[in-house]
């Protein structure tokens, strides 16, 4: 059987990209806010229904810059159940990550655990909408308001997700997106910061371009975080396909749900309420009643050439650069530890064949 990965990047038909390339070759403007960059920025803000956004070369640079833009310092409360980049962006800003446990249903930062982690050094909360499932935004905002903290959402998984028919990206002070090849929407590599006002966007735009405000004025020690014309052109074209891609993912999600709902020991996460999902991941939780351990099931998939992933295992707090922190103690992160040890993400991408999906379901159901 040919190898099946957990995801496969979506690409539009190549011939549709050629005119964009010809245009770039003709313009000879390859980066630095070229015509495709400007057009994509506008089109994307419209599609996502947000006021302002700033494109980036990748999501990690967007995260690092978002923290810079709000001048975050000291300590930031975040989740250990995420991709490495979330906490790494703090270390790159000389900020101390403080891990708090997650909620067992949403798998996002548990608001009830945030308050106890606050110290006089705390300046912000950095939650993640894991698998595109919305955080408890109201509870998080309430805590932020009481303690005067900023909220930056790592929304790398949440492209196109709406909550009560409103973009999930509008909550908090800033949100960041990733358009990495493995994400629902890709520009090979890419990312963005979503911000509420023009002034903040201006500051972010300076920061991603070395701090240049004009030819001779440098207003901040900025970085090179710019998205280039190739990425922006691809992004514009990808926007024509994103609805199709999400609809196809929804079908896959529903077929998994139907096929796995009665398998003893396999737990599915309920679809979040009042949410338009993007079906970016299909996580299953392998409970102790299941005949195989999580890692045995993982290995069984490998033996059948199916490369499922254990997102997120290990916990970020177990990485060598974090495990010495007081907040990384297992006793502080009990829920995250259990989930991390029992999670598997199944293949989900528009080109996944129904026959392969049925095969994946029976590998789980027949043990």
Query: Measured from the CB atom, is 188 or 251 closer to ligand PLP?
Result: 188
CB of 312 to ligand PLP, least distance (A): 8
- Of 224, 180, 230, give the one whose Cα is nearest residue 205: 224
349 token code pair = 């991408």
Query: Measured from the CB atom, is 110 or 154 closer to ligand PLP?
Result: 154
Task: Decide: 223 and 61 in contact? Cβ < 8 Å.
Answer: yes
- Residue, CB closest to ligand PLP: 59
- HEC-encoded secondary structure of the chain: CCCEECCCCCCCCHHHHHHHHHHHHHHCCCCCCCHHHHHHHHHHHHHHCCCEEEEECCHHHHHHHHHHHCCCCCEEEECCCCCHHHHHHHHCCCCEEEECCECCCCCCECHHHHHHHCCCCEEEEECECHHHCCCCHHHHHHHHHHHCCEEEEECCCCCCCEECCEEHHHCCCEEEEECCCCCCCCCCCCEEEEECCHHHHHHHHHHCECCEEECCEECCCCCECCCCHHHHHHHHHHHCCHHHHHHHHHHHHHHHHHHHCCCCCEEECCCCCCEECCCCCEEEEECCCCCCCHHHHHHHHHHCCEECECCCCCCHHHCCCCCCCHHHCHHHCHHHHHHHCCEEEECCCCCCCHHHHHHHHHHHHCC
How many whole angstroms separate alpha carbon 175 and alpha carbon 157? 11
Query: Measured from the CB atom, is 178 or 342 closer to ligand PLP?
Result: 178
CB of 182 to ligand PLP, least distance (A): 7
CB of 128 to ligand PLP, least distance (A): 5
Query: Measured from the CB atom, is 86 or 141 closer to ligand PLP?
Result: 86
CB of 288 to ligand PLP, least distance (A): 28
Query: Measured from the CB atom, is 151 or 266 closer to ligand PLP?
Result: 151
CB of 9 to ligand PLP, least distance (A): 12
How many whole angstroms separate alpha carbon 43 and alpha carbon 365? 43
CB of 86 to ligand PLP, least distance (A): 5
CB of 344 to ligand PLP, least distance (A): 17
CB of 339 to ligand PLP, least distance (A): 15
CB of 122 to ligand PLP, least distance (A): 21
Query: Measured from the CB atom, is 123 or 178 closer to ligand PLP?
Result: 178
Query: Measured from the CB atom, is 83 or 282 closer to ligand PLP?
Result: 83
Task: Decide: 259 and 117 in contact? Cβ < 8 Å.
Answer: no
Binding site for ligand PLP (CB under 6 A): 58-60, 82-83, 85-86, 128, 154, 156-157, 178, 180, 191
How many whole angstroms separate alpha carbon 194 and alpha carbon 197? 9
Query: Measured from the CB atom, is 179 or 290 closer to ligand PLP?
Result: 179
Query: Measured from the CB atom, is 158 or 364 closer to ligand PLP?
Result: 158
Query: Measured from the CB atom, is 246 or 260 closer to ligand PLP?
Result: 246
Query: Which residues, listed in sequence order, are joined to residue 267 by a DSSP beta bridge?
Result: 285
CB of 244 to ligand PLP, least distance (A): 22
């Amino acid at each position: 059987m040919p190898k099946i990965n957990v995801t496969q990047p979506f690409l539009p038909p190549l011939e549709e990209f050629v005119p964009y390339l010809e245009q770039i070759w003709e313009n000879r403007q390859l980066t630095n806010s070229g015509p495709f960059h400007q057009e994509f920025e506008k089109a994307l803000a419209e599609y996502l229904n947000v006021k302002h956004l700033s494109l980036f070369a990748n999501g990690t640079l967007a995260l690092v810059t978002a923290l810079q833009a709000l001048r975050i310092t000291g300590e930031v409360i975040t989740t250990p159940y995420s991709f490495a980049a979330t906490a790494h962006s703090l270390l790159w800003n000389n900020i101390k990550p403080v891990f708090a446990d997650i909620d067992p249903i949403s798998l996002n930062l548990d608001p009830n655990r945030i308050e106890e982690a606050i110290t006089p050094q705390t300046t912000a909360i950095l939650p993640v909408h894991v698998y595109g499932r919305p955080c408890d935004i109201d509870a998080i905002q309430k805590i932020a308001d009481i303690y005067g903290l900023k909220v930056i959402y790592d929304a790398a998984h949440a492209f196109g997700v709406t909550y009560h028919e409103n973009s999930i990206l509008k909550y908090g002070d800033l949100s960041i997106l990733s358009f990495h090849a493995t994400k629902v929407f890709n520009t090979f590599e890419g990312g963005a910061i979503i911000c509420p006002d023009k002034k903040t966007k201006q500051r972010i735009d300076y920061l991603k371009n070395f701090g240049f405000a004009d030819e001779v004025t440098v207003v901040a020690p900025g970085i090179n975080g710019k998205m280039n014309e190739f990425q922006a052109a691809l992004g514009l074209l990808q926007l024509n396909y994103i609805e199709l891609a999400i609809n196809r993912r929804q079908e896959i999600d529903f077929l998994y749900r139907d096929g796995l709902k009665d398998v003893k020991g396999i737990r599915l996460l309920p679809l979040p309420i009042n949410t338009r999902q993007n079906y970016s991941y299909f996580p299953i939780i392998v409970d102790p009643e299941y005949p195989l351990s999580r890692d045995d099931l993982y290995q069984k998939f490998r033996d059948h050439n199916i490369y499922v992933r254990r997102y997120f295992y290990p916990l970020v707090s177990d990485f060598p650069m974090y495990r010495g922190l007081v907040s990384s103690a297992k006793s502080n992160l009990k829920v995250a530890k259990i989930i991390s040890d029992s999670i598997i993400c199944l293949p989900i991408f528009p080109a996944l064949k129904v026959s392969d999906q049925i095969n994946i379901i029976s590998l789980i159901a027949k043990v």
